[in-house]
Each structure stands twice: as structure tokens, then as C-alpha cells.
């Protein structure tokens, strides 16, 4: 009977939280933006692919091969190459007109035919760091392919056979066209689940304190655990629903990103993770006295979590000490099983260790946050 009474209290307090959030237009707008337009713009606006890179060519050879190389740079990867003089390289790169300037030397075609391995100079504006790194690889591949094809045609015309000692066959798994939007859109949902669940849970407690309604709850026959649990399930439910809708409507319908695995399994893992994330928001709210203080604590905690959880760079690339620390942060395991499920179609038999880590570490922190919350409530009552 007592358990049923406590569950009813948690349910009714959670409904109160939902009604309170309904009145907070700013937070509602933030949720809608974070799980719709923010994901779409991040996937389509911030591209890790090469698009319309500006390139100029100093063609000192003016041969059939050099012309063929110029014509190989085509949209949408590159803009149409512009022929310039050697003296124009520095002024035009200084002004930022071209990211790449290629210099094809005199007698380039003759040297290739003679097997003298001529050098081609490629000037890169590395201030556009991402485009410069990707573009260099693209240009190298285009050069290799065009010269190999051209030389192969010449040798075959002369009655010889062009045989490469190594035939490298590439196969892109899970993302055949290497579309960056497939990665970015899903990762935005994963990151926004962390950020918004912390913000909503923390803001709910601070809103109670600023509006004075926390005192009303303290004079009622309610346990601190019931107050905290109500905030956890209500705000977690909103984030779960927003993530599910975003995954279906934005990622699959609008961006046409195929989801390899079970969305239900991903959402089940998200439920486990939300216990940690919402508890973290409540814990930070017990340390802060106002929303500005909460915002500062949020930045100090969430940014390292977001950068080091494996969503941007693999955890294997981090220093050993950092890997050891992040192994005890549930967000690392959340990112890992979310990527395994949504990208690679992993089932529960593969991701259950990550589920267990999220549940175990998250449960311990949830208990710690509940202790801290009960302690802060006790101070308010006195």
C-alpha cells in the first residue's frame, strides 16, 4: 500500500512537471530546435566532404596529358579549374581566391612516357584545414587514376601490357558513399539527448527554487526521492519522445539516412542512459544557486563529455589516462552502443556489455545524486 502511494506521488508530481514545462516557452523552443532544425542544419550545412573547392592550374606543359588532368577536376568536388600564370600564385593564394594551386611542369608528358617520375607542385591553403586535408587526398587519387589510365592506354597501343603489382580493392562498410550527413545527423541526436536531458532536469529544480514552489513541496508529505524521481521520468520522457520523433522524421524521412539496426533497442538503451543524464542535471542544480551558475557548470561538465565520449574522435586515439577516466563515464558507453546499433545493426547480444555499464555506473551516480538532493532538501527544510 505504501509503495502504491509513493508511485502515485511520483506520477502526479511528474504530471505537474509536464504542465510546468508547457508554460516555459524558451525551453520548449529549445527542445524543438535541438531535435529538428539543429540536426538538419548540422547534417547538411557542416559537411566533412569536399564540395566546390576552388582550384587553379599553372600548366607549363600544355600537353594532352596535362589537359586531361585539368579536365578531371569536376563538380561537385571541385569548381572548374582556372588557368593562371606562375607569377599569380602568391597574390591569388594570399587573397584567398584559391584553396589549391597545381603547377604542371614543362615536358611533363614526355617525362611520364619516359618513366622519369616528374614532380608536380601542389600549393594548398591550409587555413581551410578540413577542406585542405580532404582535398589533398582527392587530388592525389585523381592524379594516380588519370595517369595510370593514360599510361595504360599508351602501352597497350604499343603492344605492351600495363600490370600493376598491387590491385587494391576498397569496400566502404555501413556507409557506401561515405556521406558525412549519415554520421553527423545521428551523432547530433546522441549529443542532444545528453545536453537536453541535463538542461531540462536541472532547470526544473532551479525553476522550482526561483518560483518558490519548492517550499510548497517541502511542507507536503513527500520524500525527496519522490520529488527527484518525478523530475527524472517526466523530463526523460520528453527527451525520449523528441529523440524518437527526430530519428524517424528528420533523419530517416528528411535526410534519407538508413538506420541499420533496431530503433527500439536504441531507445531502450536511451532510457537507461537518461537515468544518469537527468540525475547529473539535478546534481548540478543542487550545486548552483541560479540559472547562470547552472549554465557555467553545464559548460564545464558537458563539453568534455561531448568531446571525449568517442563521438568526434575514437577513444582509442586518446591518451591512456583519459581512456581510463572516460571508461567510467556512461556517455562513452552510450555513444558506443548507439553507433553500434544505428550504424552497424548490432543486436542485444553484442551491445549488452555497454548496456550493463550504462546501467551500473548510471545507477551508482543516480544514487549519489539522490543523496545529494536529499541533503539539499534537508537544508531547505531547516
pLDDT for 193 beyond 50? yes
Q: Which residues contact 77 (CB under 8 A, 6 or more apart)?
A: 50, 51, 52, 53, 138
**Grid coordinates given for 79:** 569548381
Q: How far apart are CA 28 and CA 330, in angstroms?
A: 26
Q: Are strands 55-59 and 82-83 parallel, antiparallel or unpaired?
A: parallel
More confident site: 96 or 334: 334
DSSP string spanning 256-309? Answer: -PPP-S-HHHHHHHHHHHHHHHHHHHHHHHHH-SSHHHHHHHHHHHHHHHHHHS
SS3 82: strand
What's the whole-number mean pLDDT along residues 325-354? 92
What's the whole-number mean pLDDT along residues 133-143? 83
Tens-digit pLDDT profile for residues 273-311: 999 999 999 999 989 888 889 999 999 998 888 888 888
Whether residue 336 contacts residue 354, with contact meaning beta carbons closer than 8 Å, is answered with yes
> What's the Rg (C-alpha) of the chain?
28
Task: Write down the residue that cell numbers 539543429 correspond to.
Answer: 38
Whether residue 235 contacts residue 278, with contact meaning beta carbons closer than 8 Å, is answered with yes
Q: Which residues contact 252 (CB under 8 A, 6 or more apart)?
A: 258, 259
Whether residue 125 contacts residue 93, with contact meaning beta carbons closer than 8 Å, is answered with yes
Q: Pick from 347, 338, 342: which is nearest to 277 by CA?
A: 338
CA distances from 189 to 82, 219, 312 (A): 41, 39, 13
Tens-digit pLDDT profile for residues 346-378: 999 999 999 999 999 999 999 999 888 888 776
Task: Write down the residue that cell numbers 553545464 correspond to.
Answer: 298
More confident site: 192 or 212: 192
Alpha carbon 232 to chain centroid distance? 25
Task: Write down the residue that cell numbers 519548492 correspond to.
Answer: 214
Whether residue 228 contacts residue 370, with contact meaning beta carbons closer than 8 Å, is answered with yes
pLDDT in the model for residue 195: 93
pLDDT in the model for residue 162: 47
**Grid coordinates given for 171:** 569496400
Q: Are strands 100-104 and 55-59 parallel, antiparallel or unpaired?
A: parallel
pLDDT-derived band at 164, boundaries 50, 70, 90:
very low
Question: Which domains, from first to last, does the chain contain?
Answer: 6-46+178-381 (no CATH), 55-148 (3.40.1710.10)
Q: Are strands 100-104 and 121-124 parallel, antiparallel or unpaired?
A: antiparallel
pLDDT in the model for residue 307: 86
Q: How far apart are CA 88 and CA 358, in angstroms?
A: 58
Amino acid at each position: 500500500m505504501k509503495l502504491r502511494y509513493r508511485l502515485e506521488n511520483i506520477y502526479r508530481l511528474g504530471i505537474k512537471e509536464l504542465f510546468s514545462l508547457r508554460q516555459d516557452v524558451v525551453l520548449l523552443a529549445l527542445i524543438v530546435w535541438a531535435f529538428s532544425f539543429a540536426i538538419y542544419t548540422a547534417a547538411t550545412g557542416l559537411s566533412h566532404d569536399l564540395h566546390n573547392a576552388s582550384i587553379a592550374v599553372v600548366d607549363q606543359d600544355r600537353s594532352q596529358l596535362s589537359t586531361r588532368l585539368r579536365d578531371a577536376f569536376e563538380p561537385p568536388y571541385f569548381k572548374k579549374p582556372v588557368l593562371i600564370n606562375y607569377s599569380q600564385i602568391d597574390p591569388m593564394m594570399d587573397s584567398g581566391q584559391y584553396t589549391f594551386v597545381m603547377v604542371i611542369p614543362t615536358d611533363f608528358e614526355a617525362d611520364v612516357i619516359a618513366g622519369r617520375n616528374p614532380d608536380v607542385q601542389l600549393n594548398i591553403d591550409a587555413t581551410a584545414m578540413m577542406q585542405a586535408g580532404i582535398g589533398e587526398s582527392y587530388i592525389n587519387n585523381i592524379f594516380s587514376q588519370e595517369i595510370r589510365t593514360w599510361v595504360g592506354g599508351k602501352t597497350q597501343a604499343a603492344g605492351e601490357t600495363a600490370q600493376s603489382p598491387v590491385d587494391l580493392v576498397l569496400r566502404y562498410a555501413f556507409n557506401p558513399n561515405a556521406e558525412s550527413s549519415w554520421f553527423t545527423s545521428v551523432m547530433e541526436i546522441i549529443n542532444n539527448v545528453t545536453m537536453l536531458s541535463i538542461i531540462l532536469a536541472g532547470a526544473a529544480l532551479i525553476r522550482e527554487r526561483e518560483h518558490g514552489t519548492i517550499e510548497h513541496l517541502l511542507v507536503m508529505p513527500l520524500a525527496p526521492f519522490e520529488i527527484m524521481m518525478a523530475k527524472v521520468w517526466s523530463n526523460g520522457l520528453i527527451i525520449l519522445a523528441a529523440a524518437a520523433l527526430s530519428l524517424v522524421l528528420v533523419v530517416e524521412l528528411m535526410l534519407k539516412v538508413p538506420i541499420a539496426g533496431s530503433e527500439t533497442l536504441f531507445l531502450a538503451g536511451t532510457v537507461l542512459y537518461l537515468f544518469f543524464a537527468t540525475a547529473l542535471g539535478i546534481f548540478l542544480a543542487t550545486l548552483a544557486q541560479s540559472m547562470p551558475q547552472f549554465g557555467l557548470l553545464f559548460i564545464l561538465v558537458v563539453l568534455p563529455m561531448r568531446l571525449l565520449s568517442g563521438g568526434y574522435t575514437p577513444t582509442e586515439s586518446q591518451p591512456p589516462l583519459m581512456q581510463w577516466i572516460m571508461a567510467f563515464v556512461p556517455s562513452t558507453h552510450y555513444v558506443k552502443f548507439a553507433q553500434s546499433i544505428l550504424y552497424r545493426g548490432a543486436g542485444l547480444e553484442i551491445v549488452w556489455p555497454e548496456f550493463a555499464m550504462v546501467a551500473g555506473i548510471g545507477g551508482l551516480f543516480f544514487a549519489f545524486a539522490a543523496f545529494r538532493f536529499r541533503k539539499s532538501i534537508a537544508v531547505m527544510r531547516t
